[in-house]
Every structure is written in C-alpha cells, then in structure tokens.
C-alpha cells in the first residue's frame, strides 16, 4: 500500500437514486484482494470497502432492490476515499438540495483528507458540495445538458472516460456507465500499484476506455435556443444529412447571408455549422 500500512477506508455512498449495478460492481472489485493471490497481490487487502447511507441499514435503490449500509453518515467521522456511484434521474432532472446532510458530510470528509470520486452520474451529488466548482470533471454524456444547467460552474468533459483533478488529484470522476471500471483500476494503480491493477483487470476482464467515450455518444444538438430559423435548419438536416454540401444548402434555405447564418447557428447551438454536420462535433471556441 502506497502511503499507509493500514487498509484505506473506502466509503461507497448509497442513496435511493443509486444504480445497484455500479455500487455492487465497485464493491466487488475493490474487495477482491481478499480472495486473490500471487506476486502482484499484496498480502494484506489494501482497501476496506463499506457502504454508507444517510442512516445505517437497508437502503432501497433505484431498481427497487436494497443494499445494507454498514454506516450512517453520523456514525463515520473519517474515511480515505468516497465514491458516489451512478444515479438514475427521473426525466433527467436533479432536484438541488435534496440531500443536505449527505452534502455536509461529503464536505467534512474532504476537509479531513478524503478523495471524492464519482462514477458516471454520481457527480450530481458531489457537485452539491461546491468543491467541484472550476474543477475539470466528467459525467455521463446523456446527462451532460442537465448537469450544465444545474451546475454551470463545474466544467465537464463527457467525452472523457476518467478525469483526476486537484493539486493532489483528490477529485476523480468517471464518465458514462461502465467507466467505473476505469475509476477502480485507477484507484488500485494509484494506491496499490500498476501490476496489481493489471492483475485485477485480468481477473474480471476489465478494460480501460483508452479511446474515450466519443464513439458511444449520440449527438443531439441543442434545441432549446428559440431561434426559429436555426431550428428549421436542424429539422431539415435530420432528414437530409447525407446530401452534398449540407451547410451551403442550409444557408440557401434560411434566406440569410452566409455570415449571418453561421453566426446565428453557432450562437444558438454552440457549434459551427460544419462541426455540427461532421460528427464528432467540436464546441465553438474549443481546441481542435
């Protein structure tokens, strides 16, 4: 173990919106050292993984299945690593301030030295602390627009599988769904060693998402901009994506001057017309 001779305490957060597959998957992988052996595996398990809820006891998760929280937040004064697993949002909405006690506990754990980690959409809960303001992060691409509206101060890169930020990389987030694999392998490599991470990856057949998440993203350009001319161009493009010179055709159909159309289109959608019709799109003003 990297910096301590005791197991690092890992707190897996269980709230009613949590996805059981992510929570239990992380639990199993980080607890596997109890049953693995070999030169790449430390003799003493490097992590003590426990589930933490608002109260101790059964917590019904988003699927209706329950897990048993080993601790309530009032019972746990210190931990080394906090992981918030995926949450499932009804109608893609997050209600701000829904877990004030949990938010305060997360902030207190960070003040006492804990790393804060999110898997997939777990970033919604962590962002409530305000600690991720200005901190580069990633989140499930399907929730990206919802997240930006709820937490505009948190810069997100949903195309990235894993982002570790902060002066000591204490803020760690993983992207869509199964990128919790990247999160746990990163934590194992960081705290136990790269060879141990490789051994665990082999045992579970886990893979790093080295190419990021762009191949999985279904591009849906912004539609809530209120510009009727741009909306008409977007509607036309949906049915005529494969035509030759689609940008020129959109400009012609709009009745606007080329420069005017391109400026309005970029302002409304966040993408230059050519970037919009040639995925993966590149946001206006971003580095290419």
Q: What is the pLDDT along the chain (288 residues), one digit of tens a residue?
A: 444 478 999 999 999 999 999 999 999 999 999 998 888 889 899 999 999 999 999 999 999 999 999 999 999 999 999 999 999 988 778 989 989 999 999 999 999 999 999 999 999 999 999 999 999 999 998 899 899 999 999 999 888 889 999 999 999 999 987 899 999 999 999 999 989 999 999 999 998 877 666 544 555 567 788 899 999 988 887 767 666 788 888 999 999 999 999 999 888 887 788 777 765 444 444 433
What per-residue confidence (pLDDT) applies to 2? 44
End-to-end CA distance of the chain: 39
CB neighbours of residue 287 within 10 Å: 5
Distance CA 100, CA 133 (A): 17
Element (H, E) at 283: none
- CATH class of the 8-216 domain in this structure: alpha beta
124-161 as b/e, with b when 16 or more CB fall inside 10 Å?
A: bbbbbbebbeebbbbbbbbbbebbeebbeebbbbbbbb
Kindly report the number of other CB atoms within 10 A of residue 220's CB atom. 10
Residues in the chain: 288
Q: What three-state secondary structure class fits 214?
A: helix
**Cα–Cα distance for residue pair 163/159, rounded to 1 Å:** 10
Classified as helix, coil or strand, 155 is coil
Helix (H) or strand (E) holding 246: helix 246-254
Q: Are 130 and 171 in contact (CB under 8 A)?
A: no
Q: Which residue stretches of 94-143 are H helix?
A: 100-111, 123-127
> What pTM did the predictor assign?
0.75
Distance CA 182, CA 56 (A): 29
Predicted local distance difference test score (pLDDT) of residue 107? 98
Q: Do 158 and 138 meet the contact criterion of CB atoms below 8 Å apart?
A: yes
* Structure confidence at residue 160 (pLDDT): 86
């Amino acid at each position: 173990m990297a910096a301590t001779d005791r197991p690092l305490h890992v707190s897996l957060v269980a709230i009613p919106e949590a996805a059981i597959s992510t929570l239990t998957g992380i639990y199993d992988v980080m607890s596997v050292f109890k049953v693995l052996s070999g030169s790449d595996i430390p003799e003493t398990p490097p992590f003590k993984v426990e589930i933490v809820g608002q109260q101790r006891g059964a917590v019904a998760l988003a699927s209706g299945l329950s897990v048993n929280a080993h601790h309530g937040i009032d019972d746990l004064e210190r931990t080394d690593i906090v992981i918030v697993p995926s949450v499932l949002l009804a109608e893609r909405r997050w209600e701000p301030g829904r877990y004030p006690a949990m938010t305060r506990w997360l902030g207190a754990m960070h003040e006492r030295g804990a790393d804060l980690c999110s898997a997939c959409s777990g970033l919604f809960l962590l962002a409530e602390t305000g600690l991720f303001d200005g901190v580069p992060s990633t989140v499930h691409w399907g929730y990206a627009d919802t997240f930006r509206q709820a937490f505009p101060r948190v810069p997100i890169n949903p195309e990235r599988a894993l982002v570790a930020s902060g002066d000591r990389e204490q803020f760690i987030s993983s992207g869509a769904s199964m990128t919790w694999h990247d999160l746990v392998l990163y934590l194992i490599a960081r705290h136990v060693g790269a060879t141990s991470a490789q051994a665990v990856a082999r045992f579970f057949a886990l893979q790093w998402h080295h190419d990021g998440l762009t191949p999985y993203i279904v591009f849906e350009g912004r539609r809530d901009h209120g510009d009727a001319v741009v909306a008409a161009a977007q509607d036309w493009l949906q049915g005529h994506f494969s035509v030759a010179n689609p940008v020129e055709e959109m400009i012609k159909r709009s009745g606007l001057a080329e420069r005017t159309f391109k400026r309005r289109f970029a302002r409304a959608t966040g993408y230059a017309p050519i970037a919009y019709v040639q995925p993966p799109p590149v946001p206006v003003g971003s580095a290419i």
